[in-house]
Amino acid sequence: VSAPAPADGFSVFASLHERRREERRAQNANESPAVIAGRALGLDGPLTLERLVCETSLGALPASKAQVLLLRAADGKPANDVLPTARMVFHLGCERMPANDGGILWNGERLPSGRPRIVVLRTGVRAGKTLISVLALLLSVLTCQFRRPPMNDEEVPGPDGLVGVRPGELVRAIIVAPRLENTRAPFQHLVGTMNASPVLRKLFVKKPLAESCVIRRPDGREVEVKCLAADAGGTNLRSTWLAGALFDEADFHD
């Protein structure tokens, strides 16, 4: 049997190399930022709001059972073992949450499956809502998807086969309140919690300023967290990619 010509052998090798590169690219695209962040932060699974708030190496908040229930609901995770039925009804208005049962619709007894896109906290004072909310913003900063596969033929992918944030584009997460001074409390919660964690403090690109900081995610992406006063029509919230938004003192927004 004669050996293939050198040109043919090189073509075969190049084809195999390109195929393997495409496989690695697809694998990286399919691995969620939550998994990447969890692994980089020393967790044995994906980063969730509950882990970010309660893990001793991260948020280290001694959460009550009611707060854990909130965290599970915000994560879209089962929480039927946290509190008895009467307390579930008191806090969430339903008797139980689904156990990953395939997206059951609201029927008066269960909350819908899956992680909610919007969470509204209605509590009294000193319930931890600002701290939990700002850590939810941090979770979004660390786990939001910068680039994704195209959804249709009209979306033209880049060289990596994906669409979304391009190199050099600004990505922000914003803390918005009726007045700029109202943003100081949640921002200090964020900075204080991160500085208190030996793991999270390493994510600051440089020392935080009074009203902003830059966080480098475990995947190398950078996000600016910025404090802003509410503006008519939201004009100061536009023109950039948003990794998350926290609207504090929501009762006083127009």
pLDDT digits (tens, 9 = 90+) for 180-217: 999 999 999 999 999 999 999 999 999 999 999 999 99
Enter the DSSP assignment of 62. -
Q: How many CA atoms lie within 13 A of 199 on its CB side?
A: 16
Q: Report CA dihedral (49, 55, 57, 62) to the nearest 10 degrees.
A: 110
pLDDT of residue 214: 98
Nearest C-alpha neighbor of 228 from the set 207, 205, 244, 204:
244
pLDDT of residue 102: 46
Q: Which long-range CB contacts under 8 A does 67-72 form with residues at least 24 apart?
A: 67/127, 67/128, 67/132, 70/121, 70/132, 71/132, 72/97
- What are the residue ranges in the chain where pLDDT is below 70? 1-30, 96-113, 254
Whole-number Cα distances in Å, 156 to 46, 71, 187, 240: 30, 37, 37, 20
pLDDT of residue 88: 82
pLDDT of residue 41: 92
What CA–CA distance (Å, rounded) separates 202 from 213? Answer: 13
pLDDT of residue 105: 40
pLDDT of residue 43: 92
CA end-to-end span of the chain: 81
pLDDT of residue 26: 47
pLDDT of residue 12: 65
Q: How many CA atoms lie within 13 A of 102 on its CB side?
A: 0
pLDDT of residue 206: 95
Residue type, 59: G
Global pTM reads 0.79
Contacts of 219 (CB under 8 A, 6+ apart): 33, 36, 37, 40
What CA–CA distance (Å, rounded) separates 217 from 210? Answer: 21
Contacts of 16 (CB under 8 A, 6+ apart): none
pLDDT of residue 98: 56
